[in-house]
Amino acid sequence: MTRENILFTIIGVLLGFIVGFMFASSMNQRYGPGAPVPIAGSQNLPADHPPIGSPGAGAANPAGMQAEVTASLDQARSEPNNFEAQMRAAELYYQIQRYDDAIGFLLRANQIRPDNYEAIVALGRVNLDAENYETAEKWYEAALLKKPNDVGVLASLAFTALQRGNATDAERAIANLEKVDPNNADLSQFRERLATLKAK
């Protein structure tokens, strides 16, 4: 093998790693760990507002923030029928990646308001991040029964099926996403992942 061939091989491998990393990073930002969960009214913030719980939000007064967090969690526990308190507690636990605790509060919120779309979608997202893929799919499917054309949920369902390695479910989810949003920016990457999955 000539020096040029070795160089091209190395560049090809590196390019493959970079493309794979960019895809995983893009999908995780949108649908996977660390992506925002629509909980407790945070979707009404202005576009330039720092994410709730981010280092720039409330970092100047950590003691005050800790007291606020403690008060929110105490309220959720002492008021088990308070929907907003359960959602706030779930968001706090989600931010520190204590997914089981977040799921517990979300399930309680779902029991209080079984038809609340926000809680159903959040249960899909948090279960996805906890790698409970089958459970995440069930919650996303429940959300789609209420809003069949929610592009974000359709894409999340496709991503979940791909993460789970289920080619049949992934193909169906991708087809549904394409029907609703044929120009969705993630479709080509989803199809590539699906082709790789089928080739295994």
Q: Give the per-residue pLDDT at 58.
A: 43
Residue 145, pLDDT > 50, answer: yes
Lowest-confidence segment of 6-10, 19-23, 149-153 by average pLDDT: 19-23
pLDDT per position as a tens digit, 82-127: 999 999 999 999 999 999 999 999 999 999 999 999 999 999 999 9
Asked whether the beta carbons of 33 and 95 are under 8 A apart, the reply is no
Is pLDDT of 169 > 60?
Answer: yes
pTM, whole model, 2 decimals?
0.69
Cα–Cα distance, 17 to 15 (Å, whole number)? 5
Contact by Cβ (8 Å): 126, 157 = no
pLDDT band at 38 (very low <50, low <70, confident <90, very high): very low
Tokens, residue 137: 């799919």
Read off φ and ψ for residue 162, nearest 5 degrees.
-65, -45
Say whether pLDDT at 144 is over 90: yes
Q: Alpha carbon 163 to chain centroid distance?
A: 12
Radius of gyration of the chain (CA): 20
Least confident of 59-63, 93-97, 136-140: 59-63
Q: Tokens 């794979």 map to which residue?
A: 20
How many helices (H) does the chain have, and how many strands (E)? 9, 0
Query: In 173-193, which positions are buried (b, 16+ CB within 10 angstroms) versus exposed (e)?
Result: bbebbbeebeebebbebbeeb
pLDDT of residue 170: 93
What pLDDT is recorded for position 65? Answer: 72
* Torsion sign, CA atoms 121, 127, 128, 129: positive
